[in-house]
Chain A
């Protein structure tokens, strides 16, 4: 009897919160994945100087794009200036979508199949479908935002190892786990230590990708529960009946940025098992700055992945994924700069 009442309560709570079961303020899990259910990723992008209008328009567009597939998480990449405007953007998004499932970070802009954006823009990645589940966790007060890498290397390493481990400990694990998406205020080269912390729990070979928040003074926020948080990290675990393939490439000159964008996408596609259905690309804002035309890099990606598959791309202050170095270590992913980190999802 008690069990039945609890289940009824749980389903009411899930319905009110967008299908999320919050375990605590700093973690939640969506409804579990159903075998043979659909897995749907959709991407929308909006530019508008009015952050509330941009957020609302993007959220409505995402809702339409998801169709009947239940939305499990929304990843925000936004480039509005200052906390006040960022909060207005979140207000716009959460006026349409459930606040609890809105996560993400401040970036330097985004790119999708529709083009590249920078200031006053928001890009939303909708993750959903019956065949996928999401668990999310937040780690705050990591204590490294104002520490410079050269003066406090050991302390940064220690604190981010702890933060990464604590973050990973908050995530429930299942056999169906496929990918971790990490969004953090821990820009390159600090991001390597945070990744190492997560890997202490998740293992060195578990697929992990992500990007670091904009590190401009006053902009360094990640988002969890629809709220802006400084000096924090968010991790999502995606689980379900799908597969992922990752690749990373590094460059810092115009021609090399374009060439590596194509090579990395080709490598990730070549590793794909099954039919690819979405691409995530956590890219470096520094790479973008070396481009004569932003669109040249996107065109190179499209030469590899085509122009139809949903593409969620954002320009970050450090990227997580397979680091492009000659001597590969044991770990699949690391944290670095000047990279584009691809993940191709397939079924």
Chain B
């Protein structure tokens, strides 16, 4: 019976994109962002997914930059068809660099093949700090900023946490500033959409599943003004996030937001109160959660997706991960999942 069901299961998985029809490589690999800076000896987490229709037996190795060392360099893995495992490599010695970009390589050996994936990963961590949300980026020198480039344009994100708030500074390099008050012809305008979720949360797979995220939209209303909308909270049906609901009833007045346009950069500085999220996310040093962003640059690059920047697999695109809203424009493919890990740390020093 099981023997007859398995091929059917794999055909279904392959059809929905979870497995390739003919896998050239037996496994897929990716490395998560570090959740504190390397000199604070975090663990590097490698995800390995069996792409074959049979059990995969092998090893996963992590290659780190010169001068770094790991507690264990290799783990054995045994994966059922389609299964994904998470292997943790504790960094015993690592070096933090100002650019916050670290070349790591995951190598899986097994079933007669060696699969390699090189990634420049970042430390995605929010130090403790109480910034003033005033549009002045001067408070952000002690943040551990991450940056990525899409379509040749840079986006830089800094984060802080404190007992009352989670705060972000998002710097978007773009030629033209399009506030909501003067959208482009198709009604689209600049915005930043972000999702904050508990560490263990998973994105729904069907319209009837419940969301597990706090989803916000930051919208510029002028060169020095902005507005925040609360698009989703945990428990909302995923399907409800897929209609372009009017934004006005979703205004979230408890967020602090300041927008500033300077030369070719638009700064979104914002802070969200933990009181909204406290039941699901506990703020504290070393606590982990998920954070992802979509930067909407409709007259330029289009969507800049943090999930893509951190190397999520193509099968991790999920339309249910992000709310639709009037003005949102994305191409045929939905954005990537929003469950990318982020950490709260004490300090970058």
Q: Which residues of A contact B (CB under 8 A)?
A: 81, 108, 118-119, 145-151, 187-189, 214-219, 252-253, 285-286, 288-290, 317, 337-338
- Minimum CB–CB distance from B47 to chain A (whole Å) comes to 16
Residues of B within 8 A of A119 (CB): 163
Q: Does B90 contact A (CB under 8 A)?
A: yes
Contact sample, A vs B, 15 pairs, CB 8 Å cutoff: A118-B284, A149-B349, A188-B41, A189-B39, A189-B40, A189-B41, A214-B346, A216-B285, A216-B347, A217-B127, A217-B129, A252-B43, A285-B285, A289-B287, A290-B286
Q: Does B101 contact A (CB under 8 A)?
A: no
Q: From A286, which residue of chain B is reached at the shortest CB distance?
A: B286
Q: Does B16 contact A (CB under 8 A)?
A: no
Known: A146-B349, A217-B129. 9 other contacts (CB 8 A): A187-B346, A215-B346, A216-B285, A216-B347, A217-B127, A217-B130, A288-B286, A289-B285, A289-B286
Report the Cα distance A108→B42, complex, angstroms.
19
Residues of A within 8 A of B286 (CB): 285-286, 288-290
Q: From A289, which residue of chain B is reached at the shortest CB distance?
A: B286
- Please count the residue pairs between chain A and chain B whose beta carbons lie under 8 angstroms apart in the complex: 70
Name the one of B39, B96, B346 contacting A216, with C-beta atoms under 8 angstroms: B346
Q: Does B142 contact A (CB under 8 A)?
A: yes
Name the one of B88, B288, B346 contacting A285, with C-beta atoms under 8 angstroms: B346
Is there contact, CB below 8 Å, between A215 and B97?
no
Contact A150 to B128, CB < 8 A, known contacts A253-B88, A285-B285, A290-B286: no
Is there contact, CB below 8 Å, between B96 and A215?
no
Name the one of B43, B96, B284 contacting A150, with C-beta atoms under 8 angstroms: B96
Report the Cα distance A143→B142, complex, angstroms.
18
Residues of B within 8 A of A217 (CB): 127-130, 142, 347
Is there contact, CB below 8 Å, between A215 and B347?
yes
Report the Cα distance A148→B123, complex, angstroms.
15
- Minimum CB–CB distance from B322 to chain A (whole Å) comes to 28
Interface size on B, residues (CB 8 A): 27
Residues of B within 8 A of A147 (CB): 349
Residues of A within 8 A of B163 (CB): 81, 119
Residues of A within 8 A of B284 (CB): 108, 118, 289
Residues of B within 8 A of A108 (CB): 284-285, 346
Report the Cα distance A149→B88, complex, angstroms.
24
Is there contact, CB below 8 Å, between B128 and A145?
no
- Minimum CB–CB distance from A335 to chain B (whole Å) comes to 13
- Minimum CB–CB distance from B100 to chain A (whole Å) comes to 11
Is there contact, CB below 8 Å, between B88 and A337?
no
Q: Mark B119-148, 1 if CB is under 8 A from A, else 0.
A: 000000001111000000000001000000
Name the one of A145, A188, A214 contacting B40, with C-beta atoms under 8 angstroms: A188
Scoring B128, B142, B348, B349 by chain A CB atoms within 10 A of each residue's CB, the highest score goes to B349
Q: Does B95 contact A (CB under 8 A)?
A: yes
Residues of B within 8 A of A215 (CB): 346-347, 349
Report the Cα distance A288→B39, complex, angstroms.
19
Is there contact, CB below 8 Å, between B40 and A252?
no
Contact A148 to B348, CB < 8 A, known contacts A216-B285, A290-B286, A337-B41: yes
Scoring A187, A252, A290 by chain B CB atoms within 10 A of each residue's CB, the highest score goes to A252
- Minimum CB–CB distance from B68 to chain A (whole Å) comes to 12
Interface of B is mostly: loop
Query: Within B285-326, which residues are at the interface with A (CB < 8 Å)?
Result: 285-288
Q: Which residues of B contact A (CB under 8 A)?
A: 36, 39-43, 88, 90, 95-98, 127-130, 142, 163, 284-288, 346-349
Is there contact, CB below 8 Å, between B41 and A338?
yes
Report the Cα distance A337→B41, complex, angstroms.
8
- Minimum CB–CB distance from A231 to chain B (whole Å) comes to 11
Is there contact, CB below 8 Å, between B95 and A150?
yes
Contact A216 to B43, CB < 8 A, known contacts A148-B96, A149-B96, A253-B88: no
Residues of A within 8 A of B129 (CB): 217
Residues of B within 8 A of A288 (CB): 286
Residues of B within 8 A of A214 (CB): 346
Residues of B within 8 A of A118 (CB): 284
Report the Cα distance A64→B338, complex, angstroms.
54
Q: From B71, which residue of chain A is reached at the shortest CB distance?
A: A250
Report the Cα distance A252→B43, complex, angstroms.
8
Scoring B95, B98, B285 by chain A CB atoms within 10 A of each residue's CB, the highest score goes to B285
- Minimum CB–CB distance from A297 to chain B (whole Å) comes to 13
Name the one of B43, B97, B348, B349 contacting A253, with C-beta atoms under 8 angstroms: B43
Q: From A214, which residue of chain B is reached at the shortest CB distance?
A: B346
Report the Cα distance A120→B54, complex, angstroms.
54
Report the Cα distance A296→B29, complex, angstroms.
33
Is there contact, CB below 8 Å, between B346 and A149?
no
Q: From A290, which residue of chain B is reached at the shortest CB distance?
A: B286
Name the one of B39, B42, B130, B287 contacting A149, with C-beta atoms under 8 angstroms: B39
Residues of A within 8 A of B90 (CB): 252
Is there contact, CB below 8 Å, between A317 and B346?
yes
Q: From A109, which residue of chain B is reached at the shortest CB distance?
A: B284
Q: From B38, which residue of chain A is reached at the shortest CB distance?
A: A150
Residues of A within 8 A of B88 (CB): 253
Residues of B within 8 A of A145 (CB): 349
Residues of A within 8 A of B288 (CB): 289
Q: From B88, which residue of chain A is reached at the shortest CB distance?
A: A253
Q: From B344, which residue of chain A is reached at the shortest CB distance?
A: A289
Q: From B345, which residue of chain A is reached at the shortest CB distance?
A: A286
Residues of B within 8 A of A187 (CB): 346-347, 349
- Minimum CB–CB distance from B112 to chain A (whole Å) comes to 32
Report the Cα distance A149→B38, complex, angstroms.
11
Report the Cα distance A286→B348, complex, angstroms.
14
- Minimum CB–CB distance from B88 to chain A (whole Å) comes to 6
Contact A148 to B346, CB < 8 A, known contacts A285-B285, A286-B285, A338-B41: no
- Minimum CB–CB distance from B76 to chain A (whole Å) comes to 17
Q: Which A-B residue pairs are the 10 nearest by beta carbons?
A: A289-B286, A216-B128, A150-B96, A286-B286, A215-B347, A215-B346, A217-B129, A285-B285, A149-B39, A216-B346
Report the Cα distance A335→B39, complex, angstroms.
14
Scoring B39, B88, B347 by chain A CB atoms within 10 A of each residue's CB, the highest score goes to B347
Is there contact, CB below 8 Å, between B43 and A148?
no
Q: From A219, which residue of chain B is reached at the shortest CB distance?
A: B128
